[in-house]
Amino acid sequence: MVRLNAVVISVLLALGAGVLTVAALLAGDGEADLTVVSNRAVVELLPARGDEVLPQATVGVILAPGWAGTLVSVGDIQVPLDQQRIEPALNSVIFRPGKGRVLQRLPAQDVCAEVRYWEVQTPDRTSTLGWCFRVDG
């Protein structure tokens, strides 16, 4: 009888832990970008998908260690390599609009950007990722 009580209590505790885990997962904000979360190369998009930003906002990507990349385009305009700030030590590739750049400011509309990235060990195997955000003002 004591053994049966121990089994019942153990089952109820396990069931309770499972219910709490499911509740915590369902209570998440749901705003995680699955394209980034499931991508082992991309840590963060700048700005994040769907964000609202100012026309002077920085556009780019932060990559995981062992990955490199370049910005292909921002708002259907190709970004020259010499206008990108590529920081290998920080695994980042960014573009900031300004005077003398292909974009002096981001247009006030929905803007899409695209990045090309690759594993440093296999630079001939590239992938691309696109995302969009809203520019105010």
| Residue 59 confidence (pLDDT) | 97
Sequence-distant (≥ 6) Cβ neighbours of residue 63 within 8 angstroms: 41, 42, 43, 69, 91, 92, 93, 117
Confidence of residue 9 (pLDDT cuts 50, 70, 90): confident
The C-alpha angle with vertex 92 and arms to 54 and 66, in degrees rounded to 5, equals 155
Which carries the bigger pLDDT value, residue 70 or residue 25?
70
Quick one: average pLDDT of 96-111? 95
Q: Which two tokens stand for residue 130?
A: 């696109």
- Is residue 80's pLDDT more than 90? yes
- Residues 113-125: pLDDT tens digits? 999 999 999 999 9
Count the alpha carbons within 13 Å of 82 in the hemisphere toward its beta carbon.
3
**pLDDT (tens digit per residue) in 18-67:** 544 434 444 444 455 555 677 899 999 999 999 999 999 999 999 999 99
Helix, strand, or coil (residue 41): coil
Does the pTM surpass 0.75? The reply is no
Tell which residue, 98, 26, 109, 40, has the closest CA to residue 75: 109
